Amino acid sequence: MFSFFAASFATIFSVIDPIGIAPLFLSLTPEIAPEFHVRTMRRAVIVAAVILYAFAAVGRALLTSLGITVAAFSIAGGILLLLVAIDMLFARASRTRGTPEEEVEARASADISVFPLAIPIISGPGAIVTVVLYMSQANGDVGKIAAVLASILIALIACYVSMRLSGLLIRVLGETGVHVVGRVMGILLAALAVQFVLNGVSGYYHALAH
């Protein structure tokens, strides 16, 4: 049970990347009055929580209704997470967190809490895929389901703290420090992504054998 929690937490935390959100938050809020910062952070985290917990609740049923096997989703999810990990390793802005055009639109928006902070920066495709994968692997086990839900909560709390202390984090770590942390998490995420693909291939051939 602990190993499942550790794996789900490490993957969800790495994909959401709370440390990497700090410079993004600062870059998106230069013209927002300080008194609105907390409200923006709070709303972004709440909306992201609603999205991730909604997919945690209905993701498995959605796959079933579309005729998608867990093995196929595991392979596809692993490939997507590997692409996210590669971007982290090369300190590139992941396109799963938005395109340059979307960033320009966000800067012109009066309220960035829902877009792009909540989605796709916090609860982007990578995070959604990861949550659905682990909920599928939980397979109805109450303890494992609780582990996934707790992992989401901890990661979101870390996002809020990171945004709240974004100025301090950037001063202490600097851009280089943030990239170093991102690269370390990228290595971990890449290994987990490959494991997802291997699990999917193994599950596919196991299903064929039976």
- Across the chain, which has 210 residues, the per-10-residue mean pLDDT values are 93 94 85 78 96 95 90 91 89 65 57 88 92 93 97 98 91 85 90 92 85
Whole-number pLDDT of residue 99: 62
As given in the structure block, the two tokens for residue 202 are 């193994």
**Residue ranges per domain, the chain?**
2-209
Quote the pTM value.
0.84
Angle, alpha carbons 91-18-74 (nearest 5°):
80
Q: Which of 197, 189, 194 is nearest to 72 (CA)?
A: 197
Distance, in Å, from the CA atom of 52 to the CA atom of 208, rounded to the nearest integer, reads 32
Which token pair is 137?
Answer: 């692997």
- Tokens 């590139």 correspond to what residue? 92
CA-based torsion, 44, 125, 132, 21: positive or negative:
negative
The pLDDT value recorded for residue 101 is 60
Rounded to the nearest angstrom, the gap between the alpha carbon of residue 60 and the centroid of all alpha carbons in its chain is: 18
